[in-house]
Structure 1
Amino acid sequence: MSLISLATRTILQEMLRGRTWAEDRILDQPIDPIQEVLRGADERGKPVIAVYTSKAEGKPTGLDTQAGVQSIDLNVYVYLPPRKIELPESVEFEIDNSGAGLALNVMGRQIDAAMHYGNADWIKLWRSFVLSVEKRTDRFVLVEIERGLPVPCLEILYEIRAVAEADFAKPLYGAWVDLDTLLRASEVPGSTDLADLIKGLIESPEDLFGYEVFQLNHGLTDEAYMAIGLAPLATNEDRSVPDVEEIDARPDELVITPPGRVP
Protein backbone atom coordinates (compact mmCIF):
# COMPACT_ATOMS: atom_id res chain seq x y z
CA MET A 1 0.00 0.00 0.00
CA SER A 2 0.99 3.63 -0.39
CA LEU A 3 2.55 5.86 2.24
CA ILE A 4 -0.53 8.08 2.36
CA SER A 5 -2.58 4.94 3.13
CA LEU A 6 -0.33 4.18 6.08
CA ALA A 7 -0.56 7.78 7.30
CA THR A 8 -4.35 8.08 7.14
CA ARG A 9 -4.87 4.64 8.67
CA THR A 10 -2.51 5.49 11.54
CA ILE A 11 -4.22 8.82 12.18
CA LEU A 12 -7.65 7.18 12.18
CA GLN A 13 -6.51 4.67 14.79
CA GLU A 14 -5.19 7.45 17.02
CA MET A 15 -8.44 9.41 16.71
CA LEU A 16 -10.31 6.29 17.90
CA ARG A 17 -7.93 5.47 20.76
CA GLY A 18 -9.76 5.77 24.07
CA ARG A 19 -12.88 7.17 22.40
CA THR A 20 -14.97 3.98 22.06
CA TRP A 21 -15.85 0.98 24.21
CA ALA A 22 -12.86 -0.77 22.63
CA GLU A 23 -10.62 1.73 24.52
CA ASP A 24 -7.05 1.02 23.34
CA ARG A 25 -7.77 -2.39 21.74
CA ILE A 26 -7.22 -1.10 18.20
CA LEU A 27 -5.34 -3.29 15.71
CA ASP A 28 -3.55 -2.19 12.55
CA GLN A 29 -4.42 -4.51 9.64
CA PRO A 30 -4.25 -7.71 11.73
CA ILE A 31 -4.16 -11.05 9.93
CA ASP A 32 -6.27 -12.72 12.64
CA PRO A 33 -8.28 -10.19 14.69
CA ILE A 34 -10.56 -12.94 16.04
CA GLN A 35 -7.71 -14.27 18.19
CA GLU A 36 -7.68 -10.99 20.10
CA VAL A 37 -11.49 -11.01 20.41
CA LEU A 38 -11.56 -14.50 21.93
CA ARG A 39 -9.19 -13.71 24.79
CA GLY A 40 -11.23 -14.20 27.94
CA ALA A 41 -14.38 -14.77 25.90
CA ASP A 42 -15.44 -17.71 28.10
CA GLU A 43 -16.25 -15.17 30.80
CA ARG A 44 -16.51 -11.52 29.77
CA GLY A 45 -14.75 -10.24 26.71
CA LYS A 46 -14.13 -6.75 25.39
CA PRO A 47 -14.72 -5.20 21.98
CA VAL A 48 -11.86 -4.98 19.50
CA ILE A 49 -11.44 -2.60 16.55
CA ALA A 50 -9.35 -3.47 13.49
CA VAL A 51 -8.50 -0.86 10.85
CA TYR A 52 -7.58 -1.80 7.27
CA THR A 53 -6.79 -0.10 3.99
CA SER A 54 -8.54 -2.11 1.30
CA LYS A 55 -7.78 0.16 -1.68
CA ALA A 56 -5.60 3.12 -2.62
CA GLU A 57 -5.86 4.76 -6.00
CA GLY A 58 -4.27 7.81 -7.59
CA LYS A 59 -3.94 9.36 -11.03
CA PRO A 60 -0.25 10.01 -11.80
CA THR A 61 0.89 12.91 -13.93
CA GLY A 62 3.19 11.52 -16.60
CA LEU A 63 5.72 9.37 -14.76
CA ASP A 64 5.19 11.17 -11.44
CA THR A 65 3.49 8.35 -9.52
CA GLN A 66 3.16 10.44 -6.36
CA ALA A 67 1.11 13.25 -7.89
CA GLY A 68 -2.57 14.00 -7.58
CA VAL A 69 -5.39 13.44 -5.13
CA GLN A 70 -5.45 9.92 -3.67
CA SER A 71 -8.64 7.87 -3.27
CA ILE A 72 -8.43 5.53 -0.28
CA ASP A 73 -10.83 3.00 1.23
CA LEU A 74 -10.46 2.71 5.00
CA ASN A 75 -12.29 -0.23 6.59
CA VAL A 76 -13.06 -0.17 10.32
CA TYR A 77 -14.19 -3.50 11.81
CA VAL A 78 -15.76 -3.67 15.27
CA TYR A 79 -15.73 -7.16 16.81
CA LEU A 80 -17.73 -8.17 19.88
CA PRO A 81 -16.91 -11.18 22.06
CA PRO A 82 -19.26 -14.12 21.39
CA ARG A 83 -20.89 -14.20 24.85
CA LYS A 84 -20.84 -11.39 27.37
CA ILE A 85 -19.26 -8.02 26.85
CA GLU A 86 -17.48 -6.00 29.50
CA LEU A 87 -17.72 -2.26 28.99
CA PRO A 88 -16.61 0.88 30.87
CA GLU A 89 -18.88 2.44 33.47
CA SER A 90 -20.39 -0.95 34.39
CA VAL A 91 -22.33 -1.15 31.14
CA GLU A 92 -23.09 -4.75 30.20
CA PHE A 93 -24.62 -6.36 27.12
CA GLU A 94 -25.59 -9.95 26.57
CA ILE A 95 -24.50 -10.88 23.06
CA ASP A 96 -27.82 -12.27 21.91
CA ASN A 97 -30.08 -11.54 18.95
CA SER A 98 -30.83 -8.01 20.12
CA GLY A 99 -27.94 -7.05 22.39
CA ALA A 100 -25.25 -7.44 19.75
CA GLY A 101 -26.97 -5.14 17.29
CA LEU A 102 -27.51 -2.47 19.92
CA ALA A 103 -23.89 -2.59 21.08
CA LEU A 104 -22.60 -2.34 17.51
CA ASN A 105 -24.89 0.60 16.76
CA VAL A 106 -23.56 2.44 19.79
CA MET A 107 -19.94 1.79 18.83
CA GLY A 108 -20.61 2.90 15.27
CA ARG A 109 -21.79 6.22 16.66
CA GLN A 110 -18.74 6.43 18.92
CA ILE A 111 -16.43 5.92 15.93
CA ASP A 112 -18.07 8.71 13.95
CA ALA A 113 -17.97 11.01 16.97
CA ALA A 114 -14.24 10.33 17.43
CA MET A 115 -13.64 11.79 13.98
CA HIS A 116 -15.09 15.12 15.13
CA TYR A 117 -14.04 15.61 18.75
CA GLY A 118 -11.89 14.04 21.45
CA ASN A 119 -8.26 13.60 20.39
CA ALA A 120 -7.89 17.14 19.06
CA ASP A 121 -4.30 16.99 17.76
CA TRP A 122 -4.97 13.86 15.72
CA ILE A 123 -8.28 15.22 14.40
CA LYS A 124 -6.49 18.37 13.24
CA LEU A 125 -3.91 16.20 11.47
CA TRP A 126 -6.69 14.11 9.88
CA ARG A 127 -8.12 17.31 8.40
CA SER A 128 -4.69 18.16 6.97
CA PHE A 129 -4.37 14.83 5.14
CA VAL A 130 -8.01 14.13 4.23
CA LEU A 131 -9.74 16.43 1.74
CA SER A 132 -13.17 14.82 1.99
CA VAL A 133 -15.08 11.70 2.98
CA GLU A 134 -16.84 10.73 -0.23
CA LYS A 135 -18.91 7.86 1.12
CA ARG A 136 -19.63 5.98 4.35
CA THR A 137 -21.09 2.45 4.34
CA ASP A 138 -22.12 0.30 7.34
CA ARG A 139 -22.48 -3.45 7.09
CA PHE A 140 -23.34 -6.01 9.76
CA VAL A 141 -21.27 -9.20 9.59
CA LEU A 142 -21.59 -12.39 11.63
CA VAL A 143 -18.27 -14.25 11.81
CA GLU A 144 -18.52 -17.96 12.62
CA ILE A 145 -15.43 -19.60 14.10
CA GLU A 146 -14.43 -23.22 14.47
CA ARG A 147 -15.85 -23.58 17.95
CA GLY A 148 -19.27 -22.74 16.56
CA LEU A 149 -19.39 -19.43 18.38
CA PRO A 150 -20.70 -16.46 16.39
CA VAL A 151 -18.69 -13.23 16.58
CA PRO A 152 -20.87 -10.16 15.83
CA CYS A 153 -19.05 -7.59 13.70
CA LEU A 154 -19.76 -4.17 12.23
CA GLU A 155 -17.84 -3.03 9.15
CA ILE A 156 -17.67 0.70 8.42
CA LEU A 157 -16.17 1.68 5.08
CA TYR A 158 -14.93 5.25 4.65
CA GLU A 159 -14.11 6.22 1.07
CA ILE A 160 -11.86 9.26 1.38
CA ARG A 161 -9.97 11.67 -0.87
CA ALA A 162 -6.53 12.48 0.51
CA VAL A 163 -3.61 14.69 -0.44
CA ALA A 164 -0.91 13.58 -2.85
CA GLU A 165 1.73 11.06 -1.85
CA ALA A 166 4.91 12.34 -0.21
CA ASP A 167 7.79 13.27 -2.49
CA PHE A 168 11.06 11.34 -2.46
CA ALA A 169 14.43 12.55 -1.19
CA LYS A 170 13.08 15.62 0.63
CA PRO A 171 13.28 16.57 4.31
CA LEU A 172 9.95 16.09 6.09
CA TYR A 173 7.58 18.88 5.12
CA GLY A 174 4.03 20.09 5.74
CA ALA A 175 1.66 17.73 7.54
CA TRP A 176 4.31 14.99 7.47
CA VAL A 177 6.26 17.01 10.05
CA ASP A 178 3.18 17.14 12.29
CA LEU A 179 2.65 13.39 11.91
CA ASP A 180 6.28 12.77 12.88
CA THR A 181 5.95 15.02 15.94
CA LEU A 182 2.77 13.35 17.20
CA LEU A 183 4.13 9.84 16.69
CA ARG A 184 7.29 10.64 18.65
CA ALA A 185 5.22 12.15 21.47
CA SER A 186 2.88 9.12 21.61
CA GLU A 187 3.06 6.57 24.42
CA VAL A 188 1.78 3.79 22.16
CA PRO A 189 4.50 1.12 21.76
CA GLY A 190 6.20 1.22 18.37
CA SER A 191 5.20 4.81 17.55
CA THR A 192 8.78 6.08 17.44
CA ASP A 193 9.82 3.19 15.20
CA LEU A 194 6.92 4.01 12.87
CA ALA A 195 7.99 7.67 12.81
CA ASP A 196 11.54 6.61 11.89
CA LEU A 197 10.21 4.36 9.13
CA ILE A 198 8.03 7.06 7.55
CA LYS A 199 10.80 9.64 7.82
CA GLY A 200 13.26 7.29 6.10
CA LEU A 201 10.82 6.47 3.29
CA ILE A 202 10.33 10.17 2.55
CA GLU A 203 13.90 11.43 2.95
CA SER A 204 15.71 8.66 1.06
CA PRO A 205 17.73 8.65 -1.08
CA GLU A 206 19.82 11.27 0.67
CA ASP A 207 22.60 13.59 -0.51
CA LEU A 208 21.02 14.42 -3.86
CA PHE A 209 21.35 17.84 -5.40
CA GLY A 210 18.19 19.92 -5.76
CA TYR A 211 17.91 19.49 -9.50
CA GLU A 212 18.31 15.70 -9.08
CA VAL A 213 15.46 15.61 -6.55
CA PHE A 214 13.18 17.42 -9.01
CA GLN A 215 14.09 15.03 -11.84
CA LEU A 216 13.62 11.99 -9.59
CA ASN A 217 10.17 12.98 -8.34
CA HIS A 218 8.83 13.84 -11.79
CA GLY A 219 10.32 10.79 -13.49
CA LEU A 220 12.04 12.84 -16.18
CA THR A 221 14.63 11.41 -18.56
CA ASP A 222 17.80 13.43 -19.05
CA GLU A 223 16.59 14.43 -22.51
CA ALA A 224 13.18 15.56 -21.24
CA TYR A 225 14.78 17.47 -18.40
CA MET A 226 17.04 19.33 -20.83
CA ALA A 227 14.13 19.99 -23.18
CA ILE A 228 12.05 21.82 -20.57
CA GLY A 229 15.02 24.02 -19.72
CA LEU A 230 15.40 23.14 -16.05
CA ALA A 231 18.43 20.85 -16.20
CA PRO A 232 21.88 22.37 -15.59
CA LEU A 233 23.90 23.02 -18.74
CA ALA A 234 27.02 21.54 -17.10
CA THR A 235 27.88 19.58 -13.96
CA ASN A 236 31.06 18.78 -12.09
CA GLU A 237 32.37 15.23 -11.73
CA ASP A 238 30.30 14.78 -8.54
CA ARG A 239 27.17 15.99 -10.46
CA SER A 240 27.10 19.31 -8.60
CA VAL A 241 26.36 22.44 -10.60
CA PRO A 242 29.36 24.76 -11.06
CA ASP A 243 29.02 28.38 -9.98
CA VAL A 244 28.64 30.90 -12.77
CA GLU A 245 31.65 33.19 -12.61
CA GLU A 246 31.04 35.56 -15.52
CA ILE A 247 27.85 36.71 -17.17
CA ASP A 248 27.83 38.91 -20.26
CA ALA A 249 24.26 39.87 -21.00
CA ARG A 250 24.58 43.24 -22.72
CA PRO A 251 21.45 43.80 -24.83
CA ASP A 252 21.70 44.65 -28.50
CA GLU A 253 21.02 48.27 -29.43
CA LEU A 254 17.36 48.77 -30.22
CA VAL A 255 15.72 51.54 -32.23
CA ILE A 256 12.25 52.25 -30.92
CA THR A 257 9.93 53.92 -33.42
CA PRO A 258 6.87 55.70 -32.01
CA PRO A 259 3.49 54.84 -33.57
CA GLY A 260 2.86 56.65 -36.87
CA ARG A 261 6.53 57.32 -37.53
CA VAL A 262 8.54 55.74 -40.33
CA PRO A 263 12.10 54.88 -39.34
Structure 2
Amino acid sequence: MAEPLLRLRGVSKSFGGLAAVQDVSLDVPAGSISALIGPNGAGKTTLFALVSGFIRPDRGTVAFDGQDITGRPPYMNARRGMTRTFQIVQPFAAQTVRENIAVGAHLHCADRHTALAQADAVARRLGLAPQLDKPAGDLTVAGRKRLELARALATQPRLLLLDEVLAGLNPQEVAEMIPVVRDIAAGGVTVLMIEHVMQAVMHLAAHVWVLAQGQLIAEGSASQVTQDPRVIEAYLGHGAAQRLGRLAAAAREAAA
Protein backbone atom coordinates (compact mmCIF):
# COMPACT_ATOMS: atom_id res chain seq x y z
CA MET A 1 0.00 0.00 0.00
CA ALA A 2 1.30 3.47 -0.89
CA GLU A 3 2.39 5.82 1.87
CA PRO A 4 -0.43 8.28 2.69
CA LEU A 5 0.22 11.91 1.84
CA LEU A 6 -0.98 12.96 5.31
CA ARG A 7 -0.70 10.77 8.41
CA LEU A 8 -1.82 11.65 11.94
CA ARG A 9 -1.00 9.45 14.92
CA GLY A 10 -2.43 10.08 18.38
CA VAL A 11 -2.79 13.83 17.91
CA SER A 12 -4.15 15.57 21.01
CA LYS A 13 -4.57 19.17 22.17
CA SER A 14 -6.10 20.69 25.31
CA PHE A 15 -6.85 24.30 26.20
CA GLY A 16 -7.06 25.09 29.90
CA GLY A 17 -8.04 21.54 30.77
CA LEU A 18 -10.55 21.24 27.91
CA ALA A 19 -9.60 18.44 25.52
CA ALA A 20 -10.28 19.96 22.09
CA VAL A 21 -8.72 17.06 20.14
CA GLN A 22 -8.16 13.63 21.66
CA ASP A 23 -5.92 10.91 20.24
CA VAL A 24 -6.82 11.40 16.57
CA SER A 25 -5.19 9.09 14.03
CA LEU A 26 -5.99 9.06 10.32
CA ASP A 27 -4.41 8.54 6.89
CA VAL A 28 -5.24 10.67 3.85
CA PRO A 29 -4.26 8.96 0.57
CA ALA A 30 -2.64 11.02 -2.16
CA GLY A 31 -5.04 12.03 -4.91
CA SER A 32 -8.18 11.61 -2.79
CA ILE A 33 -11.03 13.85 -1.69
CA SER A 34 -11.81 13.15 1.96
CA ALA A 35 -14.03 14.90 4.49
CA LEU A 36 -13.99 15.59 8.20
CA ILE A 37 -17.47 16.16 9.59
CA GLY A 38 -19.04 16.56 13.01
CA PRO A 39 -21.28 18.86 15.05
CA ASN A 40 -20.28 22.40 15.94
CA GLY A 41 -17.54 22.49 18.55
CA ALA A 42 -16.32 18.99 17.70
CA GLY A 43 -12.71 20.15 17.23
CA LYS A 44 -12.52 20.04 13.43
CA THR A 45 -10.95 23.46 12.89
CA THR A 46 -8.57 22.89 15.80
CA LEU A 47 -7.46 19.68 14.09
CA PHE A 48 -6.79 21.62 10.88
CA ALA A 49 -4.74 24.12 12.88
CA LEU A 50 -2.71 21.26 14.37
CA VAL A 51 -2.13 19.69 10.96
CA SER A 52 -1.11 22.94 9.25
CA GLY A 53 1.15 24.16 12.04
CA PHE A 54 -0.85 27.06 13.47
CA ILE A 55 -1.01 25.14 16.78
CA ARG A 56 1.44 22.58 18.15
CA PRO A 57 -0.12 19.37 19.51
CA ASP A 58 0.41 18.35 23.14
CA ARG A 59 0.92 14.77 21.97
CA GLY A 60 1.07 12.82 18.75
CA THR A 61 2.66 13.31 15.36
CA VAL A 62 1.74 14.82 11.99
CA ALA A 63 3.53 13.48 8.91
CA PHE A 64 3.28 14.98 5.42
CA ASP A 65 4.67 13.09 2.45
CA GLY A 66 6.51 10.74 4.79
CA GLN A 67 8.22 13.50 6.79
CA ASP A 68 7.42 14.44 10.41
CA ILE A 69 6.16 18.03 10.37
CA THR A 70 4.71 18.14 13.89
CA GLY A 71 4.60 21.76 15.02
CA ARG A 72 6.39 23.02 11.91
CA PRO A 73 5.34 26.62 11.07
CA PRO A 74 2.59 27.10 8.48
CA TYR A 75 4.83 28.94 6.01
CA MET A 76 7.21 25.98 5.89
CA ASN A 77 4.32 23.57 5.37
CA ALA A 78 2.96 25.81 2.60
CA ARG A 79 6.33 25.72 0.83
CA ARG A 80 6.23 21.92 0.98
CA GLY A 81 2.76 21.91 -0.55
CA MET A 82 0.18 22.06 2.26
CA THR A 83 -2.28 24.95 2.14
CA ARG A 84 -5.46 25.63 4.09
CA THR A 85 -8.45 27.93 3.75
CA PHE A 86 -10.33 29.53 6.62
CA GLN A 87 -13.97 29.53 7.71
CA ILE A 88 -14.11 33.32 7.87
CA VAL A 89 -12.90 34.72 4.56
CA GLN A 90 -10.85 37.88 4.99
CA PRO A 91 -9.55 39.12 1.64
CA PHE A 92 -7.50 42.27 1.22
CA ALA A 93 -10.67 44.24 0.55
CA ALA A 94 -9.12 47.28 -1.12
CA GLN A 95 -7.00 45.21 -3.49
CA THR A 96 -8.36 43.69 -6.67
CA VAL A 97 -9.25 40.03 -7.03
CA ARG A 98 -6.16 39.62 -9.24
CA GLU A 99 -3.88 41.11 -6.57
CA ASN A 100 -5.42 38.94 -3.85
CA ILE A 101 -4.78 35.76 -5.81
CA ALA A 102 -1.26 36.91 -6.62
CA VAL A 103 -0.49 36.94 -2.89
CA GLY A 104 -0.74 33.15 -2.99
CA ALA A 105 1.30 32.93 -6.18
CA HIS A 106 4.14 34.89 -4.55
CA LEU A 107 4.88 31.87 -2.34
CA HIS A 108 6.82 30.36 -5.25
CA CYS A 109 7.22 33.38 -7.48
CA ALA A 110 9.19 36.51 -6.58
CA ASP A 111 8.43 38.31 -9.85
CA ARG A 112 5.25 40.41 -9.65
CA HIS A 113 4.45 40.19 -13.37
CA THR A 114 4.62 36.38 -13.30
CA ALA A 115 2.59 36.19 -10.07
CA LEU A 116 -0.16 38.32 -11.61
CA ALA A 117 -0.16 36.13 -14.73
CA GLN A 118 -0.53 33.04 -12.54
CA ALA A 119 -3.37 34.78 -10.70
CA ASP A 120 -5.17 35.26 -14.03
CA ALA A 121 -4.80 31.56 -14.84
CA VAL A 122 -6.14 30.47 -11.45
CA ALA A 123 -9.05 32.93 -11.72
CA ARG A 124 -10.07 31.49 -15.08
CA ARG A 125 -10.00 28.00 -13.59
CA LEU A 126 -12.31 29.03 -10.74
CA GLY A 127 -14.70 31.18 -12.74
CA LEU A 128 -13.37 34.46 -11.36
CA ALA A 129 -11.96 35.89 -14.61
CA PRO A 130 -14.78 38.48 -15.02
CA GLN A 131 -14.08 39.73 -11.49
CA LEU A 132 -10.28 40.13 -11.76
CA ASP A 133 -10.25 43.94 -11.71
CA LYS A 134 -12.96 44.27 -9.06
CA PRO A 135 -12.01 45.19 -5.47
CA ALA A 136 -12.22 42.03 -3.37
CA GLY A 137 -14.43 43.86 -0.88
CA ASP A 138 -17.16 44.16 -3.55
CA LEU A 139 -17.53 40.39 -4.03
CA THR A 140 -20.60 38.45 -2.93
CA VAL A 141 -20.26 35.72 -0.29
CA ALA A 142 -20.00 33.13 -3.07
CA GLY A 143 -17.36 35.25 -4.82
CA ARG A 144 -15.32 35.58 -1.64
CA LYS A 145 -15.43 31.83 -1.11
CA ARG A 146 -14.08 31.32 -4.62
CA LEU A 147 -11.42 33.93 -3.99
CA GLU A 148 -10.32 32.14 -0.80
CA LEU A 149 -10.05 28.94 -2.78
CA ALA A 150 -8.18 30.72 -5.59
CA ARG A 151 -5.61 32.22 -3.20
CA ALA A 152 -4.97 28.77 -1.76
CA LEU A 153 -4.73 27.15 -5.19
CA ALA A 154 -2.26 29.81 -6.34
CA THR A 155 0.26 28.46 -3.80
CA GLN A 156 0.47 25.30 -5.95
CA PRO A 157 -0.56 22.92 -3.15
CA ARG A 158 -0.27 19.16 -3.12
CA LEU A 159 -2.64 18.98 -0.13
CA LEU A 160 -5.50 21.44 0.22
CA LEU A 161 -7.29 21.73 3.58
CA LEU A 162 -10.71 23.28 2.96
CA ASP A 163 -12.42 24.64 6.08
CA GLU A 164 -16.13 24.99 5.29
CA VAL A 165 -15.54 26.53 1.89
CA LEU A 166 -19.25 26.01 1.12
CA ALA A 167 -20.63 27.58 4.31
CA GLY A 168 -23.08 30.42 3.66
CA LEU A 169 -23.79 29.43 0.06
CA ASN A 170 -27.30 28.76 -1.25
CA PRO A 171 -28.12 25.37 -2.82
CA GLN A 172 -27.43 26.57 -6.37
CA GLU A 173 -24.06 28.03 -5.36
CA VAL A 174 -23.17 24.79 -3.57
CA ALA A 175 -24.06 22.81 -6.69
CA GLU A 176 -21.85 25.11 -8.77
CA MET A 177 -18.90 24.68 -6.39
CA ILE A 178 -18.96 20.88 -6.31
CA PRO A 179 -17.48 20.45 -9.83
CA VAL A 180 -14.89 23.15 -9.00
CA VAL A 181 -13.58 21.12 -6.05
CA ARG A 182 -13.74 17.94 -8.11
CA ASP A 183 -11.71 19.60 -10.88
CA ILE A 184 -9.04 20.68 -8.39
CA ALA A 185 -8.65 17.08 -7.24
CA ALA A 186 -8.60 15.85 -10.83
CA GLY A 187 -5.65 18.18 -11.38
CA GLY A 188 -3.61 16.22 -8.84
CA VAL A 189 -4.36 18.07 -5.60
CA THR A 190 -5.33 15.97 -2.57
CA VAL A 191 -8.30 17.52 -0.76
CA LEU A 192 -9.31 17.16 2.89
CA MET A 193 -12.42 19.18 3.65
CA ILE A 194 -14.30 20.17 6.78
CA GLU A 195 -17.89 20.49 5.70
CA HIS A 196 -21.42 20.69 7.12
CA VAL A 197 -23.10 20.64 3.70
CA MET A 198 -23.80 16.94 3.41
CA GLN A 199 -24.89 17.28 -0.22
CA ALA A 200 -21.31 18.18 -1.05
CA VAL A 201 -19.82 15.49 1.18
CA MET A 202 -22.00 12.82 -0.43
CA HIS A 203 -20.99 13.95 -3.94
CA LEU A 204 -17.29 14.52 -3.33
CA ALA A 205 -15.76 12.54 -0.49
CA ALA A 206 -14.53 8.99 -1.01
CA HIS A 207 -13.84 8.67 2.73
CA VAL A 208 -15.30 10.49 5.72
CA TRP A 209 -14.15 10.81 9.33
CA VAL A 210 -16.58 11.95 12.03
CA LEU A 211 -15.30 13.98 14.96
CA ALA A 212 -17.36 14.57 18.13
CA GLN A 213 -16.10 16.16 21.34
CA GLY A 214 -12.58 15.99 19.98
CA GLN A 215 -12.64 12.25 19.27
CA LEU A 216 -13.05 10.27 16.06
CA ILE A 217 -16.25 8.25 16.48
CA ALA A 218 -16.75 6.82 12.98
CA GLU A 219 -15.24 6.57 9.52
CA GLY A 220 -16.18 5.13 6.17
CA SER A 221 -18.10 6.24 3.11
CA ALA A 222 -20.53 9.13 3.46
CA SER A 223 -23.52 6.78 3.29
CA GLN A 224 -22.01 4.52 5.94
CA VAL A 225 -21.24 7.20 8.50
CA THR A 226 -24.58 8.98 8.14
CA GLN A 227 -26.32 5.73 9.13
CA ASP A 228 -24.02 5.06 12.09
CA PRO A 229 -25.96 5.33 15.39
CA ARG A 230 -22.99 7.07 17.06
CA VAL A 231 -23.03 9.77 14.40
CA ILE A 232 -26.79 10.24 14.65
CA GLU A 233 -26.47 10.60 18.43
CA ALA A 234 -23.63 13.13 18.07
CA TYR A 235 -25.69 15.35 15.78
CA LEU A 236 -29.20 14.88 17.16
CA GLY A 237 -28.68 13.99 20.82
CA HIS A 238 -29.00 10.99 23.12
CA GLY A 239 -31.65 8.49 22.05
CA ALA A 240 -32.02 9.95 18.56
CA ALA A 241 -30.86 6.79 16.80
CA GLN A 242 -33.49 4.69 18.57
CA ARG A 243 -36.21 7.24 17.89
CA LEU A 244 -35.33 7.37 14.19
CA GLY A 245 -35.25 3.58 14.09
CA ARG A 246 -38.75 3.37 15.57
CA LEU A 247 -40.04 5.98 13.11
CA ALA A 248 -38.53 4.06 10.18
CA ALA A 249 -40.03 0.80 11.42
CA ALA A 250 -43.45 2.44 11.80
CA ALA A 251 -43.21 3.87 8.28
CA ARG A 252 -42.35 0.44 6.87
CA GLU A 253 -45.29 -1.15 8.67
CA ALA A 254 -47.66 1.56 7.41
CA ALA A 255 -46.46 1.01 3.85
CA ALA A 256 -46.84 -2.78 4.07
Fold in common (TM above 0.5): no
Kindly indicate whether structure 1 or structure 2 has the higher relative contact order, using CA contacts under 8 Å at least 6 residues apart.
Answer: 2
Q: TM-score, normalised by structure 1?
A: 0.28
Q: TM-score, normalised by structure 2?
A: 0.29
More helix by percentage: 2
